[in-house]
Chain A
Amino acid sequence: MAEDTKKIKDNKEKSERDEKIERYIELLKKYGIIVALILLVVVISVAEPKFLSPKNLFNVLAQSAIYGIMALGLTFVIISKGIDLSVGSLLAFAGIVAASLGQVSTATTKYFPSLGELPVLVPILAALIIGALLGAVNGGLIAFTGIPAFIATLGMMTIARGFTLMYTGGKPVSQLIPGIKFLGDKIGPIPIPVIIYGLMIFITWILLNHTSFGKNIYAIGGNIKAAEVSGVNVKKNLVMIYAFAGLTCGVAALVFAGRVGSVHPGAALGYELTAIAATTIGGTSHTGGIGTVWGAVVGALILSVLRNGLTLLGVQAYWQQIVEGVIIIVAVIIDMRKNAKKK
């Protein structure tokens, strides 16, 4: 008798333990990407304590700001089951126009010689408007002609880069006004790109989680037909999604101009892939309907921690690219298993 109760008790304990383990696994799956980031930070800081210096940590954040901001816009796009290959080119075009409107009056190669010095608001608005407008063209093409997002944005990628080259004749635009350079500067120890990035994270989070626009993005990505039937204006929302992605390129372009102090026509070449990688590592699923803002942030951080860490450790340039590629693939494998189980 006594033995029986013991057995029952044992079984109960066992199942309780199993449950606990299962809960941990669930948590790990949900927040695995954060665990990975923490692990990465621990390993690197043990190998190289300089990593943890506040200055270096701010560097890591500032270095992730440019593609991190683009990854925020891409999060919307990818949740809606789309893709945007044009973000790097949009950054370059928005950046080069903003830079040409934001040169000091004494610049040796001035793009608009008769313009003098404009208030910093002009280049800022120019970058944001160009980004959003070209993004809206992407969205419009996808919504109204029905061509796949991959094709529409691939076309835009080439077109915007072409515009950039034509606009500049292949030459960089430099000697920018202090107002633009300020965007790449610091307040105390905090880099302004980090502040801008933080602001954009907040805006994106609000849009995605606390507006009907956000709900529509998930609905479109989850099942576009069902979304349409339930009264979502899919076309309008698609235009808005890509316009927002374009807008983030405009913001990233301003951070780029501020940090570098000039913009060249080859700027952000290939950054669409870095931004897509950040979004993907962060668990936003290319099958649509799944993704979070914090995922994109953590994904971007993992990439910049990795780059920073490997540099601090003196790892060969070739290896950095290889490691990045492996991480992207592993992240998607984990992601697919996670989502497959859900279904």
Chain B
Amino acid sequence: MKVEQISIFLENRPGGLEEVTRILKDAGINIRTLTLADTSDFGILRMIVNDVDATSRVLKENGFRFSRTNVVAVEVPDRPGGLHGILAALAGSGVNVEYMYAFVERSGQNAVMIFRFDAPDKAIEVLRQNGLTVLPGERLYTS
């Protein structure tokens, strides 16, 4: 029930991001969502794409340092306290959130959040026990 995400290491320099989007465009890859974590010197671009294997291949060909990481997509009830309910359930179980970001599309009436957990399997178990919906990768890769 995990989602494969692509993380790319980028130096902070003009045109760095453009290079990635150009390479993906040329390979016909659709970026479903992305987030950029940055420091003064470097950034990590994380994204969910429609074709993880093809993305890996073109990034490798172009000499990028990237990794494929497992993240968890969770439906978040679109109302006050929706996100809090998720985090509260996880906090009690000792699972740590390394980072999180929003998915651009809704899933029915719910928003979707992408989480990177230190213990993803345990997190998924806890979320399910709390009646939350964990989405499979296939639901995200294609619209």
Whether A and B are associated in the same complex: the answer reads no
Q: Contact residues of B with A, CB < 8 Å?
A: none
